[in-house]
Amino acid sequence: MPVISAPHVFNADELYVDLQTTFGCSLFLKCEGFNFAGSIKLKAAKEMVEAAERAGILTPHSIMVESSSGNLGVALSMIAASKGYRFLCVTDSRSNLSARLMMEALGSRIHVITTEHAERGFLGARIDHVRTLCDSDDRYVWLSQYTNPANWMAHYRTTGPQIALQFPDLDVLFVGAGTTGTLMGCARYFRKWHRPVRIVAVDSVGSVTFGGTPGRRMIPGLGMSVRPALLDESFVDEVVHVEERDTIRACHRMAKRGFLFGGSTGTVVSGAIDWLAQHDTRELTAVAIAPDLGERYLDTIYRTTWLHDLYGEDVLGPDELASSSWEAPAPPTPTPAADRRSHQLTAGYGDDRIDQ
């Protein structure tokens, strides 16, 4: 029985979902959302904060500042609250409301950027704002997830070895590409593994990470409007790009099976399923990393009005919506109040169980 005194020391590292029954192909999904921050970003946040502490950069008077679309901001908010630091998150108008509310509940401050940079999008505007803050007051400490080697080192030390332990015969690993911290950490680890492992990066259409054409992206998480400094493409074997419509379909398909995952996970799963459909998967061991859970997407990916407003009413067919998996029966005929009370008292027990 785990007993902890700090929230960032716990993470469920051995939980996998077999997606065979959901998608009809063998794919094991490593669930990284079962911790107090709710996403894989806890690992990077913990590693970056501890590296800054070891270097003497963080002091009791420091104000941590970071640009985040949501999940890293939540993770840093949790760690800051636990360790007694102050934290300011710079996000943008696409971030999930629930993530912002969680950060505020944990005592953090939030600056929301509403205007995109002409060439570097919302991310460029967020980074410019962080730099302005740091120039204005030397108490600000920017952890810089986009350039900080502790970001990928967290996954080199934890995520990669954890997968290798559970799947010693791993053939292909699917990893979503955001800052590329998870991707680079796992890829570097498996480059030294005892057998070849194919690393397939999964990115969003509209992201420029791998040289793609910039485009509209409404689902926060994966994808970048600025090429990530941490990326070394020599460690990546293939790249799969996923349309946001396919992200949404994957999320709803899993939800119909009772698995509520987030947008980043839907993108990774969609890309992995597409790749597996085009390859001979006999005797192939494949793992995908699920960065997040679905609670923070209830007002976006899982809300029909949001989907229709942004993607049109045909984004999901009638049989694809998670909420369409059953039809409500007709309401029961009302019964007299006395009979209803009698039924409530005796339901499941019988008259002989009631103390008269």
Please write the tens of the pLDDT for every residue from 270-292: 999 999 999 988 889 999 999 99
Domain assignment present for 216: yes
Domain boundary among 290, 311, 332: 311
Whether residues 239 and 213 share a domain: the answer is yes
Decide which of 318 and 178 is more confident: 178
pLDDT exceeds cutoff 60 at 247: yes
Domain assignment present for 235: yes
Whether residues 120 and 176 share a domain: the answer is no
What is the arithmetic mean of pLDDT over 255-283?
95
Q: How confident is the model at residue 217 (pLDDT cuts 50, 70, 90)?
A: confident
Where would I find the beta strands (DSSP E) of the chain? Answer: 16-18, 28-31, 63-67, 86-92, 109-113, 140-142, 172-176, 198-204, 238-242, 286-290
Domain assignment present for 348: no
Domain assignment present for 2: no
Whether residues 163 and 133 share a domain: the answer is no
Domain assignment present for 291: yes
Domain assignment present for 335: no
Q: Are 150 and 5 in contact, with CB atoms under 8 Å apart?
A: no
Domain that holds residue 60: 41-142
Please write the tens of the pLDDT for every residue from 297-310: 999 999 999 999 99
Domain assignment present for 333: no
Our count of domains for the chain comes to 2
Q: Residue 152 class from Cβ within 10 Å (0-12 exposed, 13-18 middle, 19+ buried)?
A: buried
Domain assignment present for 317: no
- For tokens 């120039």, what's the residue? 135
For residue 175, give the nearest of 243, 221, 227 by alpha carbon. 221
pLDDT of residue 325: 56
Whether residues 168 and 19 share a domain: the answer is yes
Decide which of 217 and 273 is more confident: 273
Whether residues 195 and 295 share a domain: the answer is yes
Q: How confident is the model at residue 326 (pLDDT cuts 50, 70, 90)?
A: low
Q: Are 217 and 207 in contact, with CB atoms under 8 Å apart?
A: yes
Strand order in the sheet with 109-113: 109-113, 86-92, 63-67, 140-142
Please write the tens of the pLDDT for every residue from 139-179: 999 999 999 999 999 999 999 999 999 999 999 999 999 99
Domain boundary among 86, 116, 142: 142
Whether residues 108 and 194 share a domain: the answer is no
Whether residues 167 and 255 share a domain: the answer is yes
Question: Under 8 Å CB-to-CB from 131, ≥6 apart: which residues?
Answer: 142
Whether residues 218 and 297 share a domain: the answer is yes
Q: Are 115 and 141 in contact, with CB atoms under 8 Å apart?
A: no
Please write the tens of the pLDDT for every residue from 22-58: 999 999 999 999 999 999 999 999 999 999 999 999 9
111 strand-pairing partners: 90
Whether residues 74 and 135 share a domain: the answer is yes
149-157 helix and 181-191 helix, angle to the nearest 10 degrees: 50
Q: What is the identity of the amino acid at 269?
A: V
Q: How far apart are CA 60 and CA 200, in angstroms?
A: 41
Whether residues 81 and 213 share a domain: the answer is no
Q: What is the pTM of this model?
A: 0.89
- The pLDDT mean for the chain works out to 90
202 strand-pairing partners: 176, 240
Compute CA distances 182 → 87, 129, 151, 154, whole Å: 23, 25, 8, 8
Q: How confident is the model at residue 344 (pLDDT cuts 50, 70, 90)?
A: low
Q: How far apart are CA 60 and CA 307, in angstroms?
A: 44
Whether residues 170 and 277 share a domain: the answer is yes
Whether residues 91 and 219 share a domain: the answer is no
Please write the tens of the pLDDT for every residue from 122-136: 888 999 999 999 999
CATH label of the domain that carries residue 230 = 3.40.50.1100
Please write the tens of the pLDDT for every residue from 178-214: 999 999 999 999 999 989 999 999 999 999 999 888 8
pLDDT exceeds cutoff 70 at 353: no
Q: How confident is the model at residue 327 (pLDDT cuts 50, 70, 90)?
A: low
Question: Under 8 Å CB-to-CB from 125, ≥6 apart: which residues?
Answer: 92, 113, 115, 116, 117
